Amino acid sequence: MAGPKTIDPELVISHQFPEGDFTYSERDVVLYALGVGACSGNAVDEKELKYVYHNLGQPFVKVLPTFAVLFPFQLVNQLMRLPGLQFNPALLLHGQQYLEICKPLPTSCNVRNEAVVAGLHDKGKAAVIEIETTSYDRESGEALCKNRSTLYLRGAGGFSKSSSMYTYSRNAAKMNFSTGFPDTPPFAIHEESTQSSQALLYRLSGDYNPLHSDPVVANIAGFSRPILHGLCTLGFAVRAVIKCCCHGEPNMVKSLMGRFLLHVYPGETLITEMWLEQERVVYRTMVKERSQAVFSGFVVLNRLPSAM
């Protein structure tokens, strides 16, 4: 006997998200930078101090490109109210994140967000939904960036009406997220310890999921203690790429993708290996204490980096 239908694909892909807002100041920019480890090993790091301090005042601090992953957070949280989509939120996994930077992010801004369902796929035991959000500077109307969040809804698959699995992708030809790791030694390796309080600091940027702060919730989810936010690990990895392959210049980042492979516990040491392929840096982040890969992806640069 067939189980209850969990997803109506036509309703899902035709959903019109309401316009969203995200307003931030230089204080939010600095708090985010600290949350993803900027200056944690050296408070006067010449390549990173600019993210948290400027001698002309805080309105002049630089913005890490991954700060933009915060923009669509409220829109993605509306999934529970999306018509035609039924799933257990406790079984949701953030699979990967794509970010395209249209122009350097201002230090403070009132952002207008427009979101669409960019992909929906039946994987049998799970459903995969992709939410694409384009963010604009509300004052100038200029596009700032585009996020695409890929979410795995475990237990929500099996909604296809025919023998072939249902799949839908908007702009599929433009989205090539494949990564491979060369057999050659990495171009650069960056090792950095997270702090035991890293998740408690990062959550102040807006993700208050108790999985990252409450030991009881973490134990129920199968973890020995609260885990680090996946997007925090993304921030650590991309910051390592900027530091090692971009001379510390964040505006060299054109686009990036990160794939979440395994959890990270606050206090663990992250080792990010980087391979330079023309304007593309492929990276993989390992947890030193467990010798396991936890994150992988790529960063596309605006130009070839000059000799280090």
Residues with active-site annotation: 207, 212, 227, 230
Nearest-angstrom CA–CA distance, 177 and 258: 9
Among 41, 66, 61, smallest CA distance to 194 is for 41
Among 232, 88, 73, smallest CA distance to 154 is for 88
Token pair of 280 as six digits: 């593309």
DSSP 155: T
- Phi and psi (nearest 5°) for 292? -130, 145
SS (H, E, C) 54-92: CCCCHHHCCCCHHHHHHCCHHHHHHHHHCCCECCCHHHE
> Which of helix, strand or coil describes residue 53?
coil
DSSP 291: T
Q: Do the Cβ atoms of 115 and 17 come closer than 8 Å?
A: yes
Q: Do the Cβ atoms of 254 and 101 come closer than 8 Å?
A: yes
